[in-house]
A = this chain, B = another copy of it.
Amino acid sequence: MNYQEKIKLSTKGYCDLIKITPKVEKVISNSSIKEGLVLVFVTGSTAGIITIEFEPNLVKDFKEFIEKLIPANKDYHHNKTWGDGNGFSHIRASLIGPSLTLSLNQGSLELGQWQEVVLCDFDNRSREREIVIKVIGD
């Protein structure tokens, strides 16, 4: 069996982290699939998917880490291409990646106790995001 649904979300950009585990679980419930694989994939070139313990201090740590590693206020060649100033967002997204595959076992996602599925919107403006959830199995 094979089921797809898209989660739609409004984001604020600038490394906006949004917990989506409950929305992913809702899609799995809609699918009626109990055993298999679940793909979480964000379409677009300036966002990524991670797992993280979703508590405010760690969210702050993650944002500071990404800001130091790939600074927003540096000059990027890409900023000359379209003039939208989001070169940093693209590099962050390519590093983190848009795709996360999870195991569905007896109707439940296999995740650690504090491990949440989280969208990272790295763009430099608010966006309407679509996240593809594909469930495959029995």
List the interface of chain A (C-beta within 8 A of B): 2, 4, 35-37, 39, 41, 43-45, 50-53, 55, 57-58, 60-62, 64-65, 69-70, 76-81, 87, 90-91, 93-103, 105, 110-112, 114-115, 132, 134, 136-138
Contacts and interface: CB of A to CB of B under 8 A. Distances in A.
Nearest to A76: B61
A38 to B, nearest CB: 10
A85 to B, nearest CB: 13
Contacts of A81: 55, 57-58
Quickly give the copy total for this chain.
3
A14 B20 CA distance: 29
Contacts of A50: 94, 97
B134 A43 contact: no
Contact of A80 (B57, B101, B112, B132): B57
A57 B78 contact: yes
A39 to B, nearest CB: 5
Contact of A77 (B39, B61, B110, B138): B61
A124 to B, nearest CB: 14
Contacts of A76: 57-58, 61
